A and B are shown apart, each in its own frame.
Chain A
Amino acid sequence: MSMDATRHAGLPVDHGDAEAEMDASRDLFGFWVFLMSDAVIFALLFATYGVMLPATAGGPTPASEYKIGPTFLETLVLLTSSLTFGMATVALKHAAQRRALLAWMAVTLALGLLFLGLELHDFADMAAHGAVPARSGFLSAFFGLVPLHGLHVLAGCLWILVMMAQLLIFGPDPRVRINIQRLGLFWHFLDIIWIAIFSTVYLPGLIR
């Protein structure tokens, strides 16, 4: 199986010759392994959040702190950014010119930054009512989990900038193509983590 099964499904991008394809398959698989390791980190923080949910220590509770409107808006922004990154991937494979690719990446970056801005605004709001991590075990668990996703988004934004710079300098050479594909996996993966966040953190806290 070592020879025939190494062709990678992943994101459908051509790499020219067979050797480059082998390399791509290995590089993308390695990134998948990293993502799964990262997923375990998130899973444990979700579990910790679940366990510490009742530990409000007489302080703010989920119902008093979470707001459905901003959460929905953040979700829409992040979901849309996943679509725009998908369009960037399509441009990487099918479009002749770099401009479309750069444009889609720029849109994704803007959406990512918008998401971060909205999230920071939420956190600032919470802090304004005294909902800070040092207040209770519940808030510690919340601030251990959700901002970590935000940090990942921030890292993703930085990575988009780096890849845009590399596209301008090197053009879509094999390493740029691989790294844009890895970045795509990363970005879609953050989307999946966010689905888990709104479905197990925000929405259950708002159920009446």
Chain B
Amino acid sequence: MSAPDAAKRRAIRTYLIGYGAALLLTGAAFAAVHWPVVGPRASFALILALALVQIIVQFRCFLHIRLNRTSRDDLQLILFSALIVALMVGGTLVILFNLRGRMM
């Protein structure tokens, strides 16, 4: 088997692993809602956790973001974006839920 063939198989395998993991994680999240075994709050936390894992899997397998040196720029950008998004979303939820609590 030639080297390009091996590279191609590796690339396909990465995508297939990503797809399999995504199906598994998605299935678990839907199952946790369809056949609830834990309480609503725990289910919600579980769904969010599964989503976070799946997002990381997708970044890794589909978007090819790695921790090695060549993709440092992208990784820094994504982490900075994550920080800004966390500040904005977290801030919005805290501020406006607080407001609602005081208006009720």
Cβ–Cβ contact A32 & B74, under 8 A? yes
Residues of A23-60 contacting chain B, CB below 8 A: 29, 32-33, 36, 39-40, 43-44, 46-48, 50-51, 54
Interface residues on B, range: 35 or more
Cβ–Cβ contact A200 & B51, under 8 A? yes
The interface size of chain A toward B, counting residues with CB under 8 Å, comes to 52
Cβ–Cβ contact A199 & B92, under 8 A? no
- Tell me the interface secondary structure of chain B in the complex: helix
Interface flags for B26-41 (1: CB within 8 Å of A; 0: not) read 1001100110100010
Cβ–Cβ contact B62 & A191, under 8 A? yes
Cβ–Cβ contact A5 & B85, under 8 A? no
Segment of A81-89, A105-113, A114-122, A168-176 in the binding face: A81-89
Cβ–Cβ contact A7 & B40, under 8 A? no
Q: Please, which residues of chain B bring their CB within 8 A of the CB of A11?
A: 64
Q: Please, which residues of chain B bring their CB within 8 A of the CB of A44?
A: 88-89, 92
Interface flags for A8-34 (1: CB within 8 Å of B; 0: not) read 111110000000000000000100110
Q: Please, which residues of chain A bring their CB within 8 A of the CB of B72?
A: 5
Residue positions of B touching A, CB distance < 8 A:
4, 7-8, 11-12, 15-16, 18-19, 22-23, 26, 29-30, 33-34, 36, 40, 43-44, 47-48, 50-51, 54-55, 58-59, 62-66, 68-74, 77-78, 81, 84-85, 88-89, 92-93, 96-97, 100
Nearest 4 Cβ contacts at the A-B interface: A9-B71, A199-B51, A86-B15, A94-B8
Residue positions of A touching B, CB distance < 8 A:
5-12, 29, 32-33, 36, 39-40, 43-44, 46-48, 50-51, 54, 68, 71-72, 75-76, 79-80, 82-83, 86-87, 89-90, 93-94, 185, 188-189, 191-192, 195-196, 198-200, 203-204, 206-208
Given contacts A8-B71, A199-B50, 11 further A-B contacts (CB under 8 A): A9-B74, A46-B89, A47-B88, A47-B92, A86-B62, A87-B15, A188-B58, A192-B58, A199-B51, A204-B47, A207-B47
